[in-house]
Amino acid sequence: MKKLSIVVSMFFLLGNISFAKEIIRHIHWTQPPYDKIIMQTAKDFMAKNPNVEIKVILVADADMPTKVRTALTADGVDTFAMPNMQSPWFMANGTTAEIIPSAFGKSTVQEVVDMWLPGSIKKTGGFYEGKYYGIPHEMSNYAAWVNTAHMKAAGLDPEKDIPTTWQEFKLIGKILTKKNNGVITRNGFAINTKAAIFPFLILHTLMQQKGQDWSSEKGLHTSLSTKSGLEAFSTFTNWATKDGIFDPGLFDNEREGFGNGLTSQFLTGGTWYWGVLDGYSVKRNEVMPIKYPRFKDGKNIGGVAYGYCVFVAKKAKNKEMAWKWLNYLESHPEKYIVHGWFQPRKSLDKTLAAKYIPNYEVFGEEFEYAASIIATANFAELQDAVGAAVQRVLFEGTSNEDSLSMLKDDVENILEM
């Protein structure tokens, strides 16, 4: 009898606990100082909604998709953040719930979409095959960065001699490249070729500028057998193989290399790079971001736009509450912009972006022309194949034509065409 009463009491106690608070488990990547903002936002949300407990789980960005996949398999997550390059996989595999307008105080999805800058949900990876599944947490775009101190030392004028075409980019790269005994000791341009994603993203822009459509699987596949696709591809590989402005062996990480003055130009820095630069020896006043160069005869397209969206898991118990939490999480863009983090919510005072992000005019203007990254569940394999195609030319001596032809075979295998 005594045992039974204990069991009954425990049952009610546990029952009360589980009914007392609705728990929402949110996975986000860790990045100080933004962690503090997220934690504080969760606290504020809980204060406004005493029946809800937000458990924020901060994880390292590396291999985040695997961590989220594992959590989803075990029903251990309700909301999560994901970069636009990986998010299509989650949407394609039915792990995410569509936006619920009522959670935002709206009556249609379009009204929710209109809360953000035009096209920003697509560019940050919340849109897949005609449906909206995520809202933006961050949006950025690549600009070209140039070391103006190197330019001055080489007799160039950082005002007048800024490259606007790829031809000029190459010529200035040649002037800025330093050699010792025939070995490049300072690159005129650099990119991380070890990680396939970076060559993929640069090629993405070059292909789009050449009129190819890399925003779809079909367009990507078609581009590989076109003359302009070959021109875009060889423009990129020639920097290392023919133009002599890039030695991939000097260092891996171009952001680090640029920060330490080992390369004079690179193409993979967003607004956030100012903060990164502060950790290296090169000073802020020695560099500047510039718009991506264009082909003379090409389209007016800039560096890729990218970002993170936040999503509600399809298996979340209370999806409406989960969306309310995410809407609240993403309704404080002014807190992030102070640290240089751009959230494309319309409620953000535009003057704050100009105030807190140096050279925001470059990034801001380029957003409009930014290339949208392909939304495909096969992204990881496609970028790996593109990275391998670049490596074949750079390190194996394969011709651009042959490498593209092999890439085409790889793409057909991946897409099971």
Partner 1 sequence: MKYNENVQKKGFYFVLPTLIIYGIFLIYPMLSAFHYSFFKWNMISESKYVGLKHYVRMFGDRRFWNSYFTTFHFTLISIFIIIIFSFLLALLFQEKIMLKNLFQSSIFVPVILTMVAVAVVWQFMFQSTGVFSNIFLDIFGINIKWLTSKSVTPYSMILVNVWKITGYYMIIFIAGLLNIPSIFYEAAIVDGSSYFQRLFYITLPLMKNTFILVFVSGVIFSFAAFPQQYIMTEGGPARSTEVLALLIYKQAFEFTKFGYSSAISVAFFITLLVFSLIQFKIFKSESNY
Query: For binding to partner 1 (CB under 8 A), which residues are involved?
Result: 63, 66, 69-70, 72-73, 89, 93-95, 181-185, 193-195, 247-252, 380-381, 384, 388, 391-392, 394-396, 398
Based on CB atoms, which residue is closest to partner 1, 144 or 190? 190
- Residue found under tokens 């070391």: 147
Based on CB atoms, which residue is closest to partner 1, 184 or 230? 184
Closest CA to 408 of 210, 209, 229, 215: 229
Q: What is the dihedral of CA 290, 293, 298, 303, to 10 degrees?
A: -60
Based on CB atoms, which residue is closest to partner 1, 141 or 193? 193
Rounded to a whole number of angstroms, the minimum distance from the CB of residue 248 to partner 1 is: 5
Based on CB atoms, which residue is closest to partner 1, 213 or 396? 396
Which region holds residue 116: left if phi is over 0, alpha if psi is between -120 and 50, else beta?
beta
Mode of pairing for the β-strands spanning 183-186 and 178-180:
antiparallel
Distance of CA 30 to the CA centre of its chain: 15
Residue 76, CA distances (Å) to 26, 57, 97, 313 in order: 9, 11, 15, 10
Rounded to a whole number of angstroms, the minimum distance from the CB of residue 14 to partner 1 is: 28
Rounded to a whole number of angstroms, the minimum distance from the CB of residue 63 to partner 1 is: 7
Spatial distance between the Cα atoms of 414 and 407, rounded to a whole number of angstroms = 10
Rounded to a whole number of angstroms, the minimum distance from the CB of residue 220 to partner 1 is: 17
Rounded to a whole number of angstroms, the minimum distance from the CB of residue 92 to partner 1 is: 10
Rounded to a whole number of angstroms, the minimum distance from the CB of residue 251 to partner 1 is: 6
Based on CB atoms, which residue is closest to partner 1, 245 or 337? 245
186 bridge partner residues:
178
Based on CB atoms, which residue is closest to partner 1, 130 or 182? 182
Based on CB atoms, which residue is closest to partner 1, 329 or 389? 389
Rounded to a whole number of angstroms, the minimum distance from the CB of residue 91 to partner 1 is: 11
Closest CA to 221 of 373, 410, 377, 387: 410
Rounded to a whole number of angstroms, the minimum distance from the CB of residue 149 to partner 1 is: 20
Spatial distance between the Cα atoms of 215 and 123, rounded to a whole number of angstroms = 11
Closest CA to 201 of 293, 268, 252: 268
Rounded to a whole number of angstroms, the minimum distance from the CB of residue 281 to partner 1 is: 15
Rounded to a whole number of angstroms, the minimum distance from the CB of residue 388 to partner 1 is: 6
Spatial distance between the Cα atoms of 134 and 310, rounded to a whole number of angstroms = 5
Per 3-state DSSP, the chain is made up of helix, strand and coil in percentages (nearest 5) of: 45, 20, 35
SS3 at position 116 = strand
Based on CB atoms, which residue is closest to partner 1, 91 or 370? 91
Helix axis angle for 227-241 and 400-414, nearest 10°, is 120
Quick check: 45 and 54 in contact, CB under 8 A? yes
Name the burial class of residue 192, with classes exposed (0-12), middle (13-18) and buried (19+) by CB atoms within 10 angstroms of its CB.
Answer: buried
Based on CB atoms, which residue is closest to partner 1, 173 or 289? 173
Based on CB atoms, which residue is closest to partner 1, 51 or 185? 185
Rounded to a whole number of angstroms, the minimum distance from the CB of residue 376 to partner 1 is: 12
- Residue found under tokens 């994880």: 59
Mode of pairing for the β-strands spanning 131-132 and 79-83:
unpaired
